[in-house]
Amino acid sequence: MSDLVERYLYQVGRYLPKAERAEIQAELRSLIQDQLDHRGQGSASVQDVAAVLQALGSPLKMARSYGAEQYLVGPTLYPAMRRVLRTGLYVIPLVVVVVKVIVALTATNPTLVGLFFDVVFTSVQALLVFIGVLVGIFALLERSDTDLSQFKEKTWNPLDLPATVEAGKVQDEVATDLAGNVFALLILLYFLVVGGLTLNFNLADPGDVIPVPLAWLLTVIGAHLGRIGVIVLVLRRGRWSLGAALGFTLLDVISAVGGYFVIARPGYDLLVGALPWLTTIPLISWGPIAISAFVVLLGLLGGLDRLIKLGVFRTDQASPPPFNIPTTGSR
């Protein structure tokens, strides 16, 4: 069976429940083989296969014809959402503890019991907001294929099917980036409204606020808006372009540099102001720069990875090789 058929079956399987996926794919494979047998005498060209798949309909339409179960977040996106959620469950409480301890060190008459309950309450509050936003983003993303295809009113082309190995990998990466950037943007907009950094997500009572440079805060917000725009463009096109990959990497670097002025430097100054003895530690003053440089490096490595994948896609999909299909297909 041809690579094009396998790519089609893979895409159909993305929209099917896992328990039924293999059986339906086997049935479709047999159906496609039968139709190809009627078209040729033991062999079929790429155009023959494309014509058969065109007649069957897009992968999403075909999956729906089997009455595929509807999900809030389906099996395709759920692994990516789970990875982001798992990361948040570790990172958010850690950030809360660090910031709350720094704020407590600068407060008058802090109590250990009060600090403990404050950390617990704020961690639970931040995690609930994180989970709600994350599920909402992935639920919308789950339905984006339907909305975008109806909006575009574009006839699908079987020859545009992505490679089987890379398709899910790319979607997971883009979905994770979208969720992370939207969540970070919401937090940054909250910081903009209250005038600085805080972990009390309450506009009426933001608590202790750490002032940050407004220009750099707006720059970081703009970088996140730009990244969200690039991700939406990639989702609509179904693939990365060279311009999108380079633009996303540049926005990554701008965001990381802005993070030095918005988060790393103000946090360091506050910590050193509360604990002056920290300045006696060798190279401690380089801490904010080292952290920001590491984030910049991660952004550049991510950009390099996208460019490598982009080159692989172009090589794999440039000219599909001819293939032969046996006259007696396996059923």
Residue 222 above 90 pLDDT? Answer: yes
DSSP assignment letter at 330:
-
End-to-end CA distance of the chain: 12
Residue type, 286: W
Question: What integer pLDDT is reported at residue 317 of this predicted model?
Answer: 42
Residue 225 above 90 pLDDT? Answer: yes
Residue 159 above 90 pLDDT? Answer: no
Residue 186 and residue 142: Cα distance in Å, rounded?
Answer: 21
Q: Got the DSSP string for 317-329?
A: HSSPPP----SS-
Residue 276 and residue 274: Cα distance in Å, rounded?
Answer: 6
Residue 180 and residue 184: Cα distance in Å, rounded?
Answer: 6
pLDDT (tens digit, 9 = 90+) per residue, 22-64? 888 899 988 888 888 877 655 777 888 888 888 888 887 788 7
Residue 223 and residue 185: Cα distance in Å, rounded?
Answer: 9
Question: What integer pLDDT is reported at residue 123 of this predicted model?
Answer: 81
pLDDT (tens digit, 9 = 90+) per residue, 295-326? 889 888 888 887 777 664 444 444 433 333 33
Question: What integer pLDDT is reported at residue 150 of this predicted model?
Answer: 30
Helix count and strand count (H, E) for the chain: 12, 0
Q: H-type helices in the chain, by residue range? A: 3-14, 18-39, 46-56, 59-65, 78-106, 112-142, 144-152, 164-194, 214-237, 242-259, 265-274, 287-317
5 CB contacts (<8 Å, ≥6 apart)?
Answer: 29, 32, 49, 53
